[in-house]
Amino acid sequence: MTAQLNDLTGTWTLDDTHTRLGFVTRHAMITKVRGSFNDFTGTVTVPESGISGAEAKVTINASSIDTRNADRDGHLKSNDFFDMETYPEITFTSTKIAPNGDGGVDVTGDLTIKDTTKSVTIPFTYEGTATDPFGNQRAGFEGTTVIERKDFGLTWNATLETGGVLVSEKVTLEIEVSAIKSA
């Protein structure tokens, strides 16, 4: 599979209509809330030397958060969470991309939320390539990782009468990528 990954040379642009930058966290310790960011840009550049020299950059418009609940989205946009007036973007810049031995790649990089930057590694499975009906060459990847929201200054919470908390500290990032070769 590494040979196929090394064949992905060039610049690939995330297709925002077929890519999902999502997250899941526990709510009231008994259910899950899912959401996504719907406005983002991103590129991956793979040099002739192969996937290990690749670079990725993603910029997310933080106000595009969508949990299918306007009140919750408003709270997430406030100073209690993302403080989007002060920090309108979330960014990810790779520092290392390497085959992971499972046919995919581990993408390590700097994730910046608010004014905090932390290194995060996301293991991705490689779903393959295809040419769509419009002649675009596409590559697909899926990845998940878990972060601690307090590590990024997202500390708001409320204690429940049962002794738990309203919002889990752990957040699972779910990323489904469809990238189009642009150069």
pLDDT in tens, 12-23: 999 999 999 999
pLDDT tens-digit map of 91-134: 999 999 999 988 899 999 999 999 999 999 999 999 999 999 99
pLDDT value for 155: 66
Dihedrals phi, psi of 4, to nearest 5 degrees: -65, -40
pLDDT for 2 beyond 60: no
Number of CB atoms found within 10 A of residue 98's CB: 16
* Range among 15-29, 65-79, 107-121, 148-162 rated most confident: 107-121
pLDDT tens-digit map of 20-60: 999 988 665 667 889 999 999 999 999 999 899 999 999 99
Please state, in angstroms and rounded to a whole number, the distance separating the CA atoms of residues 28 and 161. Answer: 10
